[in-house]
Chain A
Amino acid sequence: MINPKEYYLDTFRVTEPLMENLIAGALRSGGDYADLYFENTVYSDLLLRDGQVASGGLHTDFGVGIRVLKGDKTGYAYTESTDPAEMMQAAKAAATISLQGGVGAERAEASVGRHGGKPNPAADRYPMEQDWRETSASAFVPMLEKLQRLIESKDSRVIKVIAMLGSQVSDILMFNSLGELKYDTRPMGSLSVSVIFKQGEVVENKSASRSWRIGAEMMDDALLEELAAEVVSGIDERFQAIRPKGGKMSVVMGAGASGILLHEAMGHAFEADFNRKGQSVFSDKMGKRICDKGITIVDDGTIRGNRGSINFDDELVAGQRTVMVEDGVLTSYLHDRISSKFYGVPPTGNGRRESFRYHPIPRMRCTYMESGQAKSQDIIASVKKGVFVDQFSNGQVKIGEGDFTFYVKSGFLIENGRLSAPIKDINIIGNGPAALADMRMVADDLIIDPGTWTCGKEQSVPVSCGIPTVLVENLTVGGE
């Protein structure tokens, strides 16, 4: 949902001449590019715990961030007021960067190009029939209570249910020294549930979530039923699960949430800032084959309603779909304006930020591998000894070395081509380039996981991930 321009100007109590004046102030000391990022975010939450919705909140965050670029150096300041004098003071603070000497000859000194693309609305990727801000919390309280009842009705071992509904709507207005003006209203709804089960004296927990850039219409009976079914499914296996004997083995990544492998092990190393600084393991691999033919990895900001989608990124560049690896060859990094200038390529719309308090840096959106030709059952059948994994809680990567680890909440042993004992609470560890090179079979069943994935590289931004069933040889599995 995108409102007329006047709505955003009114929200932030600014005019186009005032913004031009601020930009002029920001560039007065010699910067070669400046932009303004206005944000008004309303966040609301409801928490069900111990059988009732007895906690909730409302939070507002309002301000403007002002960035000045001098070559590839960044000056940044923000203010929580749009009073003209305070904004000008912030503009001058950001301009500090252009007052300093010491730029080396090898540092490019030029402005970033005009990349805003189409005027608003360039796209409408956030369906919002019902604005969260205009929907009373009283509509959601009975829905959270119903979710608890649904979960309890499905399994007698349920002893605690915690459910949380978070909704956020951000009005954004951006203006830069190239005269580009963009505005956007970004909704986000997230429903998550965590359940404690008890069987005899053994306690287990399980969680499930859904998150989309859509309006309050996401809350319906079908969603409650889907989430309740997911959170109780597989709990028998969880109680029976073992920790497998650790070691190097073949790992079949189940379709969907295993996409965290792409995000952690490859996606971060494809972010152009790490490559521009020579820190990434992929910094000298552009145009080279890095994995088998048939593997294509994409970072996509264009999927309507997806948690990682954007109409524009946070530096006025149109959202787009970026193919990072095409048929096994590294074809693109993920760029913001600074890195795109450095590499002499158009920006890819990956300049994102957590809020007006941060300057944009290259960030992923929705990262996934395209479907291949194989069948998932054939992939499992091809493994004599290994593990199948399908649920994860988190992961981490060392950008320079490419070493990654991610935590497996559930899966199964594979013995002689068949799923056998359930497993849980293990780590899988490996090296990004090596794991890519060790990917052998890709199934035709891509799933983009709809959970509440958040990436924490310096700042928190919403992302999503996906993958088809994939066989990776030679990963280290931590077990007993």
Chain B
Amino acid sequence: MSMIDSREIELARKCLESAMAKGAQKVRVTLNKNIMDLAGTLNGELDKTSHCLDRSLSINLIVDGRFGSFSTNRIEDTDGFLDKAIEKVRMLAKDQYRDLPSPERTAKDAPEGTELGLCDPDYPNTDADRRIETALKASIFKSRPEGLVSEEAEYSETISDSLILDSQGLYCRHTETGFDYGVEMTVEDKQGNKFSGYWWDASVWRNKLDTSVICPKALERARAQMDPKPFKSGKYNMVIDSEVASRVVSPVLSALSAYAIQQNNSFLTGKVGQKVFPEGLTIIDDCRIAGQSGSRLFDSEGVATKTVPIIENGVVKQYFINTYMAGKMGMEPTLESAIRPRVKGWPRPGLDRQRILEMCGSGILVTGFNGGNSNSSTGDFSYGIEGFAFKDGTIIHPVREMLITGNFLTLWNNLTAAGEDARSCMSKLIPTLAFSNVDFSA
């Protein structure tokens, strides 16, 4: 299956050659093309349809030791745009560290885009009627579930194609299809209080997306919010549902970014090789698994990805350092960022949310975050949460208007369990996580 056609590839090549002819010494051109078709329903009726086709060229230029980043969606007509781009680069200060990745680091195994097997051959066999039928069939509103006041859902089909070329001979491509269904349910209790629940699923393959289970699951999640009870502030065990557990992993990955390290804006500065996390924490960049959504053979510079530990048994193994930051910091380059991070199960394999709740006994199960932030310099955080109090491994009632507050290093060193129940449709494979002694305010 191919979406970027030969004429568009030729336009990208011409753009690269033209930039060189106009005075650039090094050039990288990325051509992205995406199609998305969507059918949305409201209360069991068709509410909207949309068709989107995007094409754009992103152009990185190094001119006389200076660097600029440009983009345009008028890909047939880049000549005048390149003149302006090069003129602008020449106004900037020289930066000796700007460079393309060395050819030996770049991906050689992705010339077609389909190498990872992430394209559904059934993708072209569709039309608007079939999408609308899929969306309407998944709705449960017309069966009039008790208390349901609103059901808003979207079914979409996408294909995305990305091609990277550079002036050192780089040529790599990634093509992926996606089928996605998500629904927001709003229910009302007898007092007129409203509660909402969201659920979604996605797959690379049409026939692996089971849309029939999503509305009932969203309804169940909305109803579960009913009748929240106050909960006293204090220190409790915290179990975070796999659906939202990436919220406490992403700040750790961001703190490993060379940009944050170089700007002295990371709480993990100078920690490579040190054991700052507990023995039980291992995060692997599991990025080259064929058939798994989120896998990639190269990053945005075209650098070949590798399956490597990011944190292993609590030891920080690497920062994310692109070509530019490697030169600037005098360090070996790695990748720009984690591609498909996976948290390993601990302390034993096979744990899921229920088993972890039983292990913890009592505490608060977090199923959603509502706002909040963290301080990237210090690692201090404060997040609004929603979820459920649990006792003896059993959920007893929902809680609302609660906050968790702490520091990421302290939090992670109180890790008590990591499951093996990460959702495969997510780009970060983060399972249910459990922590002890977490500060809750209510």
Cα(A72)–Cα(B47), bound, Å = 7
Cα(A477)–Cα(B376), bound, Å = 21
Tell me whether B49 and A476 are in contact (CB under 8 A): no
Tell me whether B400 and A403 are in contact (CB under 8 A): yes
For A359, the chain B residues whose CB sits under 8 A away are 48, 50
Tell me whether B373 and A407 are in contact (CB under 8 A): yes
For B394, the chain A residues whose CB sits under 8 A away are none
Given A398-B370, A404-B370, A425-B382, are A102 and B46 neighbors across the interface (CB < 8 Å)? yes
Interface string of B74-99 (1 = CB under 8 A from A): 10000001001100110111110010
Does A174 sit at the interface, judged by CB under 8 A? no
Tell me whether B51 and A196 are in contact (CB under 8 A): no
Tell me whether A58 and B88 are in contact (CB under 8 A): yes
Question: Which B residue's beta carbon lies closest to that of A203?
Answer: B377
A residues 274-329 in Cβ contact with B at 8 Å: 277-281, 284
Interface string of A456-480 (1 = CB under 8 A from B): 0000000000000000000011111
Tell me whether B192 and A284 are in contact (CB under 8 A): yes
Does B364 sit at the interface, judged by CB under 8 A? no
Given A54-B93, A196-B377, A401-B225, are A159 and B264 neighbors across the interface (CB < 8 Å)? yes
Residue of B51, B53, B92 touching A53 (CB-CB under 8 A):
B92
For A401, the chain B residues whose CB sits under 8 A away are 193-196, 225, 400
Question: Which B residue's beta carbon lies closest to that of A60?
Answer: B72
Chain B nearest Cβ from A387, distance in angstroms: 13
Cα(A394)–Cα(B50), bound, Å = 30
Cα(A246)–Cα(B81), bound, Å = 55
Instruction: State the interface size on chain A (CB cutoff 8 A).
Output: 85
Cα(A80)–Cα(B265), bound, Å = 39
Tell me whether A205 and B92 are in contact (CB under 8 A): no
Does A52 sit at the interface, judged by CB under 8 A? yes
Cα(A138)–Cα(B90), bound, Å = 9
Cα(A399)–Cα(B98), bound, Å = 45
Does B283 sit at the interface, judged by CB under 8 A? no
Tell me whether A76 and B49 are in contact (CB under 8 A): yes
Chain A nearest Cβ from B236, distance in angstroms: 14
For A74, the chain B residues whose CB sits under 8 A away are 47-50
Binds B, one of A89-97, A225-233, A251-259: A89-97
Residue of A107, A205, A395, A476 touching B401 (CB-CB under 8 A):
A476
Tell me whether B263 and A162 are in contact (CB under 8 A): yes
Tell me whether B70 and A394 are in contact (CB under 8 A): no
Cα(A445)–Cα(B265), bound, Å = 35
Interface string of A140-151 (1 = CB under 8 A from B): 010000000000
Cα(A478)–Cα(B381), bound, Å = 10
Secondary structure of the B contact surface, majority rule: strand
Chain B nearest Cβ from A411, distance in angstroms: 13
Tell me whether B196 and A400 are in contact (CB under 8 A): yes
Interface string of A226-242 (1 = CB under 8 A from B): 00000000000000000
For B54, the chain A residues whose CB sits under 8 A away are 80, 357
Chain A nearest Cβ from B399, distance in angstroms: 11
For A78, the chain B residues whose CB sits under 8 A away are 52-53
For B212, the chain A residues whose CB sits under 8 A away are none
Given A62-B73, A77-B50, are A279 and B370 neighbors across the interface (CB < 8 Å)? no
Does B375 sit at the interface, judged by CB under 8 A? yes
Does A247 sit at the interface, judged by CB under 8 A? yes
Cα(A317)–Cα(B81), bound, Å = 34
Does A427 sit at the interface, judged by CB under 8 A? yes
Does A160 sit at the interface, judged by CB under 8 A? yes
Chain A nearest Cβ from B336, distance in angstroms: 15
Residue of A46, A57, A90, A478 touching B403 (CB-CB under 8 A):
A478
Given A102-B45, A198-B264, are A480 and B93 neighbors across the interface (CB < 8 Å)? no
B residues 360-387 in Cβ contact with A at 8 Å: 370-373, 375-378, 380-384, 386
Cα(A456)–Cα(B51), bound, Å = 21
Residue of B43, B46, B88 touching A137 (CB-CB under 8 A):
B88
Tell me whether A427 and B371 are in contact (CB under 8 A): yes
Interface string of A57-69 (1 = CB under 8 A from B): 1111111000000
Residue of A103, A278, A357, A394 touching B52 (CB-CB under 8 A):
A357
Tell me whether A247 and B47 are in contact (CB under 8 A): no
Does B437 sit at the interface, judged by CB under 8 A? no
Residue of B91, B98, B150, B384 touching A141 (CB-CB under 8 A):
B91
Residue of A53, A97, A107, A405 touching B384 (CB-CB under 8 A):
A405
Question: Which B residue's beta carbon lies closest to that of A162?
Answer: B263
For B150, the chain A residues whose CB sits under 8 A away are 277-279
Does B395 sit at the interface, judged by CB under 8 A? no
Cα(A198)–Cα(B269), bound, Å = 14
Tell me whether B373 and A196 are in contact (CB under 8 A): no
Does A331 sit at the interface, judged by CB under 8 A? no
B residues 394-437 in Cβ contact with A at 8 Å: 400-405
**Most chain A beta-carbon neighbours within 10 Å: one of B49, B68, B186:** B49
Cα(A50)–Cα(B95), bound, Å = 11
Does A56 sit at the interface, judged by CB under 8 A? yes
Question: Which A residue's beta carbon lies closest to that of B37?
Answer: A93
Cα(A277)–Cα(B183), bound, Å = 14
Residue of A77, A138, A205 touching B377 (CB-CB under 8 A):
A205
Chain B nearest Cβ from A369, distance in angstroms: 20
A residues 386-416 in Cβ contact with B at 8 Å: 393-401, 403-407
Residues of A within 8 A of B (CB): 44, 46, 49-50, 52-63, 72-80, 90, 93-94, 96-97, 99-100, 102-104, 107, 136-138, 141, 159-160, 162, 196, 198, 203-205, 243, 246-247, 264, 277-281, 284, 357, 359, 393-401, 403-407, 425-427, 429-431, 476-480
Besides the contacts A407-B372, A429-B371, what 7 more A-B pairs have beta carbons closer than 8 Å?
A73-B45, A75-B49, A205-B375, A407-B371, A429-B403, A431-B401, A476-B442
Residues of B within 8 A of A (CB): 42-43, 45-55, 66-74, 81, 84-85, 88-89, 91-95, 98, 128, 132, 136, 149-150, 152, 184, 186, 192-196, 225, 233, 263-265, 328, 370-373, 375-378, 380-384, 386, 400-405, 439, 441-442
Cross-chain pairs A/B with CB under 8 angstroms, 25 sampled: A49-B263, A52-B95, A54-B67, A55-B69, A56-B92, A57-B68, A58-B81, A62-B74, A80-B74, A94-B51, A97-B46, A102-B46, A136-B91, A196-B265, A246-B441, A277-B43, A393-B373, A403-B384, A406-B371, A426-B382, A427-B371, A478-B404, A479-B405, A479-B441, A480-B439
